Structure 1
Amino acid sequence: MSDKTTANRRRLKGRVVSDKMDKTVTVLVERQVKHPLYGKFMKQSSKYHAHDEINECQIGDTVLIEEGVPRSKTKSWTVAEVVERSTQI
């Protein structure tokens, strides 16, 4: 088999909370988790540094990030697409 197939990469949807670094954005990803005993749904969040090659993302944008090879000590995600632009001026 000479055809190379890429592995399915994890994709997460989140909101840009910082764009102060060059070619890097900080993305906040929220998810709901059910408490094992009480059954209440709680919000949990994680922050990821993602590579933004052309500095197109702004604070408040909703983006789709994709896991890839590590680019630095803390950055192994890449902005795949901007789902929704921020409406603030």
Structure 2
Amino acid sequence: MPKRILQGTVVSDKNDKTVVVRVERRFAHPILQKTVRRSKKYKAHDESNQFKVGDLVSIEECAPISKDKRWTVVSAQS
């Protein structure tokens, strides 16, 4: 099964080797047919502490690194 890749914005880089990434998804409400925005935050592994708050990044699913970390930062988006 392929690994999922998500894109989001770094909202916190205070932890060592970890960034918190907010991933936003949009979908049509089933009844109202209005576009709704929902976001979720993921903790991702950043080995070199190179990503800062506000950076657009891609994160990839991986084996569990800690209790909450199951994603690694793959690259920065432009």
TM-score bracket for this pair, using the shorter chain length:
over 0.9
- Distance (Å, rounded) in 2 between the aligned partners of 1:34 and 1:80: 29
- Distance (Å, rounded) in 2 between the aligned partners of 1:45 and 1:53: 25
Instruction: State the structure with more CA Rg.
Output: 1
* SS at structure 1 position matched to 2:24: strand
* Equivalent residue, structure 1, for 2:71: 77
The reply to whether residue 20 of structure 1 matches residue 14 of structure 2 is yes
TM-score under structure 1 normalisation?
A: 0.85
Following superposition, the deviation at residue 83 of structure 1 comes to 1.1
Supply the AA of the counterpart residue of 2:25: R
User: What are structure 2's unaligned runs of at least 5 residues?
Assistant: none
User: What are structure 1's unaligned runs of at least 5 residues?
Assistant: 1-6, 85-89
TM-score under structure 2 normalisation?
A: 0.97
**What percentage of residue pairs aligned between the two structures are identical?**
51
How many residues are matched?
78
The reply to whether residue 43 of structure 1 matches residue 37 of structure 2 is yes
Q: Which has the higher contact order (CA 8 A, sep 6+)?
A: 2
